[in-house]
């Protein structure tokens, strides 16, 4: 049926990029706990270490499109994997704040470049009736990577210099991917763009397991004939509806970020802690619970996307997100969450008092201490989920200063009703699941389909830079906004954005299941 073992294997090797990306995004929450105590970093310095990855990603997304269209999708993935290995190697020998920033920027450039190149590469080698499955494989690998990162955070949390092991684990996998990609074929569409028709025909025959791929090659050539005349500025002109397609892509990415998924996840433990979960419950539930839910809900979306269609999944996901967010908002209205001073600046002495192994708590309750500890991970993807927080909390709770508890009876400002506590957790998990079947995987599938081949790399790069840029902006302002208006109102704003994304999908997103990339491009040009 045109999707033989070789096509699947090529897609799976390319999708290792997703695994590496997810791992790097989830990893920092646990690593930062150790790094901050070793280097005695202030809150601002920790935010800079975390966001340096996003700066690298933003930079790569602005420049990566030209690399992908000029040198090819496969070449870009090889470069990205090599850069990830290099960035990780730089981090290991030194314990320096500056080196950490340099290494994290390199890793950011790598994961951003590979995320664009992988989606385009898989979309271009996949047969039309299996494209959804194969492109969504990348998103599935991302969530598996995030889960692996949580597991490694937990495994190395109490190991001396465990953060080095966390960063080092990706090196063999990155090197293996770079080597394996070298032996895979380039994208047939890219070969046609470079006027190498004979090589493209051989690649197609190998991918489809057929002795004659002339028909598909002819379709690709006819669609690319007009397309490779595109310049970057054509993305903003009315020619072939490019401006409208670009606006659809940018708006979709805007909703991926503004429906709040990255932030609710960054601060999941803090949110759960503030609605009544004890620190070790919150950290372990948030990390493994959210990680498992993301993986489990991405699987059906990946498997059934070619039958159901990406548009349907986007509608279902946005609707369920709105319902779960409004529930979360109403629950938090009744709990009176206090987020004040969640990320106040800290002196090295304050940080010293918070290290595991130093059990004295001075000036304030465990809740304050936990809030300041948890928040120092500020901007990381799914930060605050590290079980290390839990363990430190445990040690501090039994506060070995003379064997007496120093937290007193004011550890929680008021007992939260059990029903509300669990309702809050349930709505958070449903929200994560809804994102993982809808906006999570489907937006990137749609983006890999709606642009013409000759300019697909640059178009994807532009939407990707919008993605990283908004991510950075929202991450930097989440705590400030939450302090100003309260968590429940933040949830209500995200509800409005989810409903807006639902309306947008219904009106503007085309249903692309079962269509070839050429058919989609011709249809959208009208």
The rounded percent of the chain whose pLDDT value lies above 90 is 28
Decide if pLDDT at 399 tops 60.
no
CB atoms within 10 A of CB 347: 10
Q: What is the pLDDT of residue 29?
A: 72
* Banded pLDDT at 113 (limits 50, 70, 90): very high
Q: What is the pLDDT of residue 232?
A: 80
Distance CA 482, CA 503 (A): 26
Average pLDDT of span 393-401: 32
Q: What is the pLDDT of residue 18?
A: 94
* Banded pLDDT at 269 (limits 50, 70, 90): low
193 Cβ neighbours under 8 A, 6+ residues apart: 69, 224, 228, 453, 454
Q: What is the pLDDT of residue 282?
A: 57
Q: Give the range among 86-95, 224-233, 237-246 with minimum mean pLDDT.
A: 224-233
Average pLDDT of span 25-33: 78
* Banded pLDDT at 272 (limits 50, 70, 90): low
342 Cβ neighbours under 8 A, 6+ residues apart: 270, 371, 372, 374, 375, 479, 482, 483
Average pLDDT of span 276-288: 58
Q: What is the pLDDT of residue 69?
A: 83
37 or 259: which carries more pLDDT confidence?
A: 259
* Banded pLDDT at 346 (limits 50, 70, 90): very low
Residues 320, 358 contacting (CB under 8 angstroms)? no
Residues 394, 400 contacting (CB under 8 angstroms)? no
Q: Give the range among 29-43, 172-186, 494-508 with minimum mean pLDDT.
A: 29-43
* Banded pLDDT at 515 (limits 50, 70, 90): confident
Query: How far, CA to CA in Å, does 295 sit from each of 124, 251, 463?
Result: 25, 26, 25
Q: What would the pLDDT profile of 251-265 be if each residue is shown by its tens digit?
A: 999 999 999 887 766
483 or 507: which carries more pLDDT confidence?
A: 507
* Banded pLDDT at 139 (limits 50, 70, 90): confident
Q: What fold characterizes domain 232-343+416-525?
A: Growth Hormone; Chain: A; (1.20.1250)
Distance CA 396, CA 194 (A): 63
Q: What is the pLDDT of residue 392?
A: 35
Same fold? 1-184, 232-343+416-525: yes
Average pLDDT of span 204-213: 83
Average pLDDT of span 271-281: 59
370-375's contacts with Cβ under 8 Å and 24+ in sequence apart are 370/273, 370/279, 371/270, 371/273, 371/341, 371/342, 372/341, 372/342, 372/343, 372/344, 372/346, 373/33, 374/269, 374/270, 374/273, 374/342, 375/43, 375/270, 375/342, 375/343, 375/479
Q: How many helices (H) and strands (E) does the chain have?
A: 25, 0
Residues 246, 365 contacting (CB under 8 angstroms)? no
Average pLDDT of span 286-311: 85
Decide if pLDDT at 9 tops 80.
yes
Residues 518, 219 contacting (CB under 8 angstroms)? yes
Decide if pLDDT at 377 tops 50.
no
Each domain of the chain, given as residue ranges in start order, spans 1-184, 232-343+416-525
Q: What is the pLDDT of residue 108?
A: 93
Decide if pLDDT at 410 tops 60.
no
Average pLDDT of span 93-118: 91
Average pLDDT of span 118-123: 90
Highest mean pLDDT among 82-91, 191-200, 225-234, 353-362: 82-91
Domain 1-184 coded CATH 3.20.20.60: no
Q: What is the pLDDT of residue 384?
A: 35
* Banded pLDDT at 283 (limits 50, 70, 90): low
Tokens for 285, please give them. Answer: 């539930």
Decide if pLDDT at 485 tops 80.
yes
* Banded pLDDT at 228 (limits 50, 70, 90): low
Average pLDDT of span 295-324: 92
Q: Look over the chain and give the mean of its residue pLDDT values, rounded to a whole number.
A: 78
Residues 100, 35 contacting (CB under 8 angstroms)? yes
Tokens for 202, please give them. Answer: 């051989």
Q: What is the pLDDT of residue 284?
A: 54
3-state SS of 54-67 is HHHHHHHHHHHHHH
Q: What is the pLDDT of residue 433?
A: 93
471 or 408: which carries more pLDDT confidence?
A: 471
Q: What is the pLDDT of residue 510?
A: 85
């Amino acid at each position: 049926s045109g999707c033989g073992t070789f096509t699947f294997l090529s897609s799976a090797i390319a999708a290792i990029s997703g695994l590496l990306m997810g791992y790097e995004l989830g990893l920092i929450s646990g690593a930062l706990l150790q790094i901050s105590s070793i280097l005695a970093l202030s809150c601002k310095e920790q935010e800079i270490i975390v966001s340096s990855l996003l700066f690298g990603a933003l930079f790569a997304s602005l420049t990566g499109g030209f690399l992908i269209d000029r040198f090819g999708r496969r070449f870009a993935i090889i470069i990205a994997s090599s850069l990830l290995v290099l960035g990780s190697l730089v981090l290991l020998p030194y314990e320096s704040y500056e080196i950490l920033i340099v290494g994290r920027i390199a890793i950011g450039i790598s994961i951003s470049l590979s995320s664009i190149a992988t989606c385009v590469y898989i979309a271009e080698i996949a047969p039309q009736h299996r494209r959804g499955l194969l492109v969504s494989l990348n998103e599935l690998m991302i969530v598996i990577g995030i889960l692996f990162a949580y597991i490694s955070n937990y495994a190395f949390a109490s190991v001396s210099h465990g953060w080095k092991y966390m960063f080092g684990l990706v090196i063999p996998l990155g090197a293996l991917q770079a080597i394996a990609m070298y032996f895979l074929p380039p994208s047939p569409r890219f070969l046609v763009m470079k006027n190498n028709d004979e090589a493209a025909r051989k690649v197609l025959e190998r991918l489809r397991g057929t002795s004659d791929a002339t028909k598909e090659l002819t379709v690709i050539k006819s669609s690319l004939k007009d397309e490779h005349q595109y310049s970057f500025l054509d993305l903003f002109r009315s020619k072939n509806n490019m401006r409208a397609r670009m606006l659809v892509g940018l708006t979709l990415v805007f909703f991926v970020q503004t429906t709040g998924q990255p932030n609710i996840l960054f601060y999941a433990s803090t949110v759960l802690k503030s609605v009544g979960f004890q620190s070790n419950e919150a950290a372990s539930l948030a990390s493994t619970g959210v990680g498992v839910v993301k993986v489990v809900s991405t699987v059906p979306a990946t498997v059934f996307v070619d039958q159901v269609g990406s548009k349907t999944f986007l509608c279902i996901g946005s609707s369920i997100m709105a319902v779960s967010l409004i529930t979360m908002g109403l629950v938090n209205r009744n709990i009176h969450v206090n987020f004040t001073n969640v990320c106040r600046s800290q002196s090295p002495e304050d940080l010293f008092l918070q290290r595991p192994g130093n059990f004295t708590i001075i000036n304030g309750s465990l809740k304050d201490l936990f809030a300041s500890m948890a928040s120092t991970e500020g901007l990381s993807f799914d930060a605050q989920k590290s079980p290390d927080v839990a363990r430190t909390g445990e040690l501090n709770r039994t506060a070995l200063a003379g064997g007496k508890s120093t937290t007193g009876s004011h550890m929680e400002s008021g007992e939260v009703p059990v029903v509300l506590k669990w309702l809050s957790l349930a709505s958070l998990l449903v929200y994560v699941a809804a994102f993982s079947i809808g906006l999570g995987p489907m937006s990137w599938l749609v983006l890999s389909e709606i642009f013409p081949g000759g300019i697909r790399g640059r178009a994807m790069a532009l939407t990707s830079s919008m993605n990283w840029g908004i991510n950075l902006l929202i991450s930097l302002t989440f705590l400030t906004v939450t302090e100003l208006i309260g968590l429940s109102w933040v949830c209500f704003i995200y509800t409005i954005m989810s409903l807006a994304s639902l309306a947008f999908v219904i009106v503007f997103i085309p249903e692309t299941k079962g269509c070839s990339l050429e058919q989609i491009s011709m249809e959208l040009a009208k």
